[in-house]
A and B are shown apart, each in its own frame.
Chain A
């Protein structure tokens, strides 16, 4: 990043520095874009030919040069960076007069954009206006709340509010829909929430291994797969139900965690990551090739749904079902709401167990091992067993989530357990802030729910044209989000650790002090 403003510099010197910086950025942009945007392969009768696109290239480079110049003049080189008042909205510093002027102007201009956009039907204006206004509104509301209630336990309110919302959301939205016929896409909403909650649970499970014990595990999906297949095979071959198989699947995954744990115990850091990655792939390839048992790439279908204390969710009249027992009219959505509560319960159990384990000696030993393995051994802690318990506990929850996945889908195949799943779960843990339960939950909602929401931004098509498909840009946005986190919050969304025991007063520990697992 360019050098920040030095007080002694004249405007001329600053302009010179800004121009030099912008031109260098332009060169780099040209070098990057000349092949990516500058030429396009065209399939002609004579064969594949290159068609130059100088206009597009010039626009891209121009945007970089002018953007960089403006940023330099207004932010980096400026004596009063234009971003200061906006940043100040999210701190508790006092506002200066010029801050208020800038914020007022921004609010006025964005409101104007919104109105003008509405009149001349330009969605782009409306979008920009709405975004800026929304940002300002959030900041102002935050300042007002913090001003009047400076000492509220915000993290706790956030947690309790989140859990209350998760518990009430399906019932409330279902009843609302029943009463008023709002036309909410309930089925879709519930399916998406179930998916998000599955990843929340997986994130919390992996958090034990990576966040607390500091063992970098790139093959977590193996435990997920073991849980799913154990349940699917027991259910299809022996006719066992979901609730019977759930603990068996969890224990099988935990056992697999111990089996995996033994050979990798002597490895550290990168080597451990590589070996766990290999184990994840081994599991998937075995599932793919052991056709007599796993049915290979065709997978296992007709996996039963969970029952409500023995009452199935089915339309069959005559036999005892959930709807006939409670005298309700059968609706398929009842089964989905039940699935939602099952995964919510499983996820909350994972969270509760983790929170309790952190306060037990074994949890403290995990964290101590992440901080310094040698010191642990000098204090009489058996690090072999400590690592094994971390692997086994993480794997247990992975297995539980796996058997839930199998029962929800009704069909599983090795396709569902590829490396990208492990990568997404690990990304959730890293983005959330390793070891932080709240951060992991937020990261799972953003990563899974947020990117799913991108599929449904039809409004954007009125800006970028009919052919625009926002879902295609998911990976790009994913990458941008990752880079953003690395730059602004390298320790994750929640960047502090709370102590497990206090004498007088609990203070969050900055993550800068916390080791990131070299064990």
Chain B
């Protein structure tokens, strides 16, 4: 998960100092997840990139008020979603949000070498479990874990019930947890042989 306090600092730097460098950092921080999210709604890479760029142009234009945005992650995802839906509406092509076949990729998991409890091998196991999650489940898991959104925010963003988010999160944890469990048992089995 991104550190919310870092995002807050960037917001303040942009709002108070018109800090172009902070603006760039903010863009780089969110671009890799906002574009796939937009693609999952609008089904066009070109349009998706344009929409994310438009949202960030608005951010710069209204930068003086940026400090007042409580949860920037949620704000950005919502803004991108709304722009995508407007676009679809204009195209007379109202499919609504259908994220079941989302193309959203999950960033590779970070392995902290100092973290002894989790081995690199375990990480790759977990990674695989995440890739095998149903697309909608993966997206919800990503929005909660990577973007730090609350269940309620994810539900509003994706226009589903909080219960659905809860269920999908349970499913994600079950799949990943089972992968880890297998690893633990497998290891202890190997050790007991020696």
A binds B: no
> Could you list which residues of chain B lie within 8 angstroms of chain A, going by C-beta atoms?
none
Q: Which A residues lie at the B interface, using CB under 8 A?
A: none
